[in-house]
Structures are given as C-alpha cells and as structure tokens.
Structure 1
Amino acid sequence: MSNHPVALPANQPDQFYRGGAAIAALRGDPAARQGPEDWVASTTTLFGQDEAGLSRLPDGRWLRDAVRADPVAWLGDAHVAAFGPDTALLVKLLDAGQRLPVHCHPSDAFAAEHLACRHGKTEAWVVVGTSGPDPLVHIGFREDVPAPVIADWVSTQDSAAMLGALNAVSVKPGDTVFVPAGVPHAIGEGVFVVELQQPTDFSVTLEWRGFLADPDAWHLGLGGATALACVDRRAKHVEDLFTRTGSRAAPSVNLLRAKADPFFRADRLHVSGALTLEPSFAVLVVLEGEGVLDSLPLRRGSTVVVPHAAGGSALTGDLVAVRCRPPLPPNHGS
C-alpha cells in the first residue's frame, strides 16, 4: 500500500459554518453536500477529538497509523530525519458558504509552550474557485493595533470593528494567500480554496458570536488573556502575502514563495501528455481533466495521497492538479 498512490474519498468532519456546494461539484456529486471542509490525507483530528478528521485508507487503516508503521516508505529518509513519523502537513478543500469569523492561529513557539504541540498553524489558501459579485479575503491589520483595543473588541464582540481593521482583498482563481501564524484573517463567502496548513486544529476565534455554540471555545481552553497573546497586532502589507499565478501554465507552477518552505510547498501541475514527479510524499487535488498516475485513474475531483516510495511517479493525460507537499527538510534542495 505504501508503494503506490492511493485515491481517497471525501472526508468532511462537522464544522460550525455553511458551505460544501463547491466541493460536491468538484467531486462530481452536487447532491453530496456534506460540509464546507474536506480533510485530504489527514493525520490530524479536530481539536479535542480522538478520531474525527482522520483519513482512512481503502484497507481500513487510518493514514496516521500507516505512516507511523512505515514512515520512511511514506515520507522518505530526509523528511523522517527532520520531522519524525509525522507528515507535517494537512490539506483541505474549503468552500466558504458564508464569511468565516475573524480568527488567527498559534505559532510553533506558542503551541509548544501552551498546547504541548510542536506545530502551530501557519497556512496558505490556493484559490481554485469563486462565486458572487466580489469574493474577498480579509487578512492582517491595516494598522498596528494595541493589545487593549483587541481585548475590547473580543470582550464586546465588535464584529464590525474587527473586520474593518483587516485588509480586504478581492481574489480570483490562481491566487495564493500565505497566512503566517498569528495573523488575523477571515475567508469571505464564495471563496473556494485548497488549503495547506500545519497539521493542527488550533484556532483563536476572536469573532465568536454567531459562529461558535460555546462562547468559551474561542480561546482553546487557555483563557482569554493567554490566547490573545498569539495575535500578531502589526500592520501587514498584503502584497507580501499574495502570489498571483492564474495566467501561468507551465508544467509545474510554483504557488508559494520560499518563505513558505519551512511549512509546506505547493505547485499547480499542467499535464498534456506526460510528466514525471520526483519522489515525495504529496497530496494531489485534480481540478480539471483526466489522466493516470502510475496505474491509478484520475479525473476532476480526484484526491490522492502519494507516498515517497512511489518513486518517480508517471503522471499522464490532460489535466490540471494542485500538488501539496510537506515542509522542505533543512539543508535539502527543493
């Protein structure tokens, strides 16, 4: 099993917000609207859960357990040397059927100190579809914000102030947004993304009213003062966070800048004929067309996990796919 690419079915754990139509349409089953997030090749559980969120392989095993049992075959020697038997990656399809709340995620250092976890949650959004008249993402404060002001916004649940303090940017397919840990953000209604992130489910939900059933869930059980310490209160230049590649159609189009390499890597593959993929653990999401990966048939909506031991996989056909890979191990080329 760990020597060949594996097709994975939808894996849509319950969420608090609406969406899912774009995921169902991509997968070719518009009636199957099971939720706004599809966790692909997931070794991560929902916060506080034992199994919800994990991906199951066709042989019945959790992918998490299969990787732990044979990490070198799944991940390769260099990755295991750097990160252990840990994919260090979570990939999602995320279809925002409504605007998400303003929230942020802890850094590695914060997670290690307060959440007993080596990973925080830096993420990136590869925009693959939009709907509505003005699809937006809201990311990073437009100006520096003092800590007492943020605490007051959260205490009073001043949604207008929180959202208004963020940079609002229109997005279209081909845009990628890099979201460092700590940076407040909210994906707008009608934005459909392939999301790469560190493999945790840690969110500090600053805007919880109208979103979370339990008002105390916003701070991850840490208490408000501790949780707010993870917020990056500095102004952000949004163009530093965007990569726009919609007009590019090379065999492999890099979707992220080098600063993302310590967290994850992503490229868009344009195959017309044949393309050989270098050995790597990877997650493929097919956006258009059809083809074959080694002997595995692919079509629009296919989601596939590729173990490192698959070697130089041959991708043939006529298709477009997003390939997601784990962090670049230190002292190794891309």
Structure 2
Amino acid sequence: MLYPLKFHPVYKDYIWGGRNLSKFGKQLPEGKVAESWELACHPDGMSVVRNGIYEGRTLKSMIEEFGGDIVGELGAESAGFPLLIKLIDANDRLSVQVHPDDEFAKAHEGDNGKNEMWYILDAKPGAKLVYGLKKGITKSDFEKAVRENRIEDCLNYINVKAGDFINIPAGLIHAIGDGIILAEIQQSSNVTYRVYDYNRRDAHGNLRPLHIEKAMQVINFNAGDIKYPYEGLEYKRSDNVSLKVLVANKHFCVELYKISGNITQETNFRKFHAYICIAGSGEIGYQNERVSIGQGETVLIPACIGEYRIKGKLTLLKTYVPDLDADIYGKLMEMGYKKEEIKEKIAGLDWQKPNN
C-alpha cells in the first residue's frame, strides 16, 4: 500500500550558496549549501524515501514498480517523475542564464526543457532578481552587448520580498540576486545555459563555462515587456483556510495554502500532489496513516491515495500536473471568475511562445 512519502534532501554545493537553509529546518552538511533537492528523479540527483515501509527506496525504483499509482495519468507523459522541487539559498548572485524548451533540450541535451517558478521565502531589504531583458532589446543589441562585455546594461531587474512569486518560462533570461531564499518548482531537468557569471572564478581559480551560442538560440527576445507582478487568484477562504492559485502552465500548477485547522483533499486518482511546508507544522492523514510535516519538509501524495486530510497550523505550497481546462479554467469559471480575469491574475497562463 502506498502512503504519503517523505524523502532525504539532496544537497548541492555550488559556489554561490551559503548556510541559510538551516533557517528552514535543514540539517546541513559542512560547507556551502546552495540547493536542497527536495523531490527529484533525475540522473543528477535522486530522492530516497525516508519514511514507512519503503524507506531507502529511490523514487526511480518506486515509479518503476508502481508507475501511474504514484504519478497518475496526468504525470505519466514524462518518463520518471515530471517535476523537480528545490529549496535554494542564493547567498551570492546566480549566473545570468536561460533554459531551453522541450524541443531544443531533447534535441541538444537529451533532457527535458525547463520551465520553472520561484516562491520567495526570505529576502534581504532591496533584494533583486533579473527578470527578462529591458523592453526593446533586440537579438542584435544583445549580441553586441555580449561582445562588449556589458550584458548587465540589457537586463531587467525587479525588487522582491518574502511571499512574492515569479513564473520563469523557458526562453526567459533570469537570475537570482544575492540575499534570497526561495522554493523552486520546475520540470525535471538540469539544463542551464549561462550567459554571464560576473567574471567569477570557482574554487580552482577557473572561470565557469558560458554557453552563449546555445543561449542565443533559445532566448525569447519578445519577452522584454513581460508582466510582473501577478496577484494570484484566491478560490476558497474561510476562518480556517485560504487557497490561492499562483502559477499554472501545462507542466505544473502551484497553489498557496494557509491552513489553521483541517482540510480534505482529493487526488481523484488522476494526479499526484506534492506539498512544501514553508511555515508552521501539521500532519497529513490517509486511512490509518499519519505523516508529520514541518517547515522545510516536502511530502509527496501518490495519485492512488484519493482522499486525504491535512491538519495543523501551517502554510504550504502545493504542486501538481494540471489539466488546465478542468483544474484551472473549468473550476474557477464555475466559481464565477471570467476567463480573462483568470489569465490576468495567475502567472503562466498568458505566456506566449517566442517568435524570434
């Protein structure tokens, strides 16, 4: 019998990391810790179950055995597990980078493309992100800036604070600034094309490699006026709970749950649910099983579970692979929201593919 699954984190020690994930309950190894891969089924990082009768099993082996009972029909199109969930400590700036879409990544890297979203958990005063290019920057403008080593002149910056959320589609130039801790939900992929790295050197004194040629092929130069911020769309509120859709696209939907009491959820045997606890604590109950969840922990609800309950005082990010027509437009329009209002408030729905 499957049950709500918890996993050991997979830590990454990239040069821009720090020690700040300890603020969110992580027991960190020595040295810099840049990322905690919370839920991953990728050759570069594999989740291992840490609770119940399947303790010690890899997520890959679980999916090989149970397949759709874990991922559901909506997650079955992707080999393995379709998403990768991380916590990121940007103690220093990340490189300016871009990710390819599925078509380019499969052809050139043998991996999935990478659409992602960020939810800001903590940020120093004045913290900034790179979010696309300045309006009007053309491909030739950018190529010239690369040659003249003045890429920073082309970048669009936004201020962020705890509670903000950002959709990062494939093709959008982006970078996390220093002093930011965030949760990242993305396609299961590890393909990144660095465009600019502030001329930093690694521990061996070497410049980290850039990927200008491939980056120029995938950057969306029509995205200079991309909208920010989005409000999200609240679809349930009571004395005990508020639920809000933040980001939705064909790869994932991310919702924000604030719970003080009890709530019942349902997978409909079609999709997995994954929860990141960003504040507070509680438990997830299924039949006679009870799984605790606290700040900094991630729990995977297999699709076959059906109905389950969440109890406690906690704030969660919930993610799943959606049927956009049924889970987003259909559900919200039944509640009286207009389609244009839904697209206006939920990040990701109004994104247009590049037409370079």
Please tell me the TM-score bracket, short chain as reference: 0.7 to 0.9
Give the aligned partner of residue 346 of structure 2. Answer: none
The question of whether the paired residues in 2 share the 8 Å contact of 1:140 and 1:167 is answered with yes
Q: For 1:88-167, what aligned pairs fall within 5 Å after superposition? A: 88-117=82-111, 119-131=112-124, 133-155=125-147, 158=149, 161-167=150-156
Q: Secondary structure at the match of 1:150?
A: helix
- Once the two structures are TM-superposed, the CA of residue 84 in structure 1 deviates from its matched residue by 4.5
- Once the two structures are TM-superposed, the CA of residue 215 in structure 1 deviates from its matched residue by 5.0
Give the aligned partner of residue 49 of structure 1. Answer: none
The question of whether the paired residues in 2 share the 8 Å contact of 1:176 and 1:244 is answered with no
- Once the two structures are TM-superposed, the CA of residue 146 in structure 1 deviates from its matched residue by 3.7
CA distance 1:33–1:272, shift in 2 (3 Å): farther
The question of whether the paired residues in 2 share the 8 Å contact of 1:71 and 1:85 is answered with no
Higher relative contact order (CA 8 A, sep 6+): 1
Residues 124-178 of structure 1 deviation map (CA, whole Å, 9 limit, x = unaligned): 11112112x301111111133343443454455x2xx322311111111221111
Q: Secondary structure at the match of 1:232?
A: coil
Q: Which runs of 5+ in 2 are unaligned?
A: 329-356
Residues 83-141 of structure 1 deviation map (CA, whole Å, 9 limit, x = unaligned): 15432111110111011111111112211322233x2111111112112x301111111
Give the aligned partner of residue 277 of structure 2. Answer: 286
CA distance 1:241–1:55, shift in 2 (3 Å): farther
In structure 2, distance between residues paired with 1:28 and 1:204: 29
In structure 2, distance between residues paired with 1:67 and 1:313: 21
In structure 2, distance between residues paired with 1:228 and 1:139: 17
The question of whether the paired residues in 2 share the 8 Å contact of 1:127 and 1:194 is answered with yes
Q: Secondary structure at the match of 2:327?
A: coil
The question of whether the paired residues in 1 share the 8 Å contact of 2:15 and 2:34 is answered with no
Q: Secondary structure at the match of 2:136?
A: coil
Q: For 1:265-276, what aligned pairs fall within 5 Å after superposition? A: 265-276=253-264
Q: Which runs of 5+ in 1 are unaligned?
A: 47-52
In structure 2, distance between residues paired with 1:269 and 1:33: 33
Q: Secondary structure at the match of 2:193?
A: coil
In structure 2, distance between residues paired with 1:147 and 1:236: 11
Higher share in strand: 2
CA distance 1:217–1:68, shift in 2 (3 Å): farther
Tell me which amino acid in the other structure corresponds to 1:210.
R
The question of whether the paired residues in 2 share the 8 Å contact of 1:175 and 1:245 is answered with no
Across the aligned residues of Structure 1 and Structure 2, the Cα RMSD in angstroms comes to 2.7
Q: For 1:54-73, what aligned pairs fall within 5 Å after superposition? A: 54-58=46-50, 59-73=55-69
- Once the two structures are TM-superposed, the CA of residue 330 in structure 1 deviates from its matched residue by 6.8
In structure 1, distance between residues paired with 2:14 and 2:320: 25
The question of whether the paired residues in 1 share the 8 Å contact of 2:133 and 2:223 is answered with yes
- Once the two structures are TM-superposed, the CA of residue 39 in structure 1 deviates from its matched residue by 0.7
- Once the two structures are TM-superposed, the CA of residue 285 in structure 1 deviates from its matched residue by 1.4
Q: Scaled by the length of structure 2, what TM-score is found?
A: 0.78
- Once the two structures are TM-superposed, the CA of residue 290 in structure 1 deviates from its matched residue by 1.6
Q: Scaled by the length of structure 1, what TM-score is found?
A: 0.83
Give the aligned partner of residue 219 of structure 2. Answer: 231
Aligned length, in residue pairs:
310
Tell me which amino acid in the other structure corresponds to 2:168.
V
- Return the match for 1:318 from 313, 317, 327: 313
- Once the two structures are TM-superposed, the CA of residue 308 in structure 1 deviates from its matched residue by 1.2
In structure 2, distance between residues paired with 1:204 and 1:85: 23
Give the aligned partner of residue 301 of structure 1. Answer: 296
Q: For 1:250-269, what aligned pairs fall within 5 Å after superposition? A: 250-256=241-247, 260-269=248-257
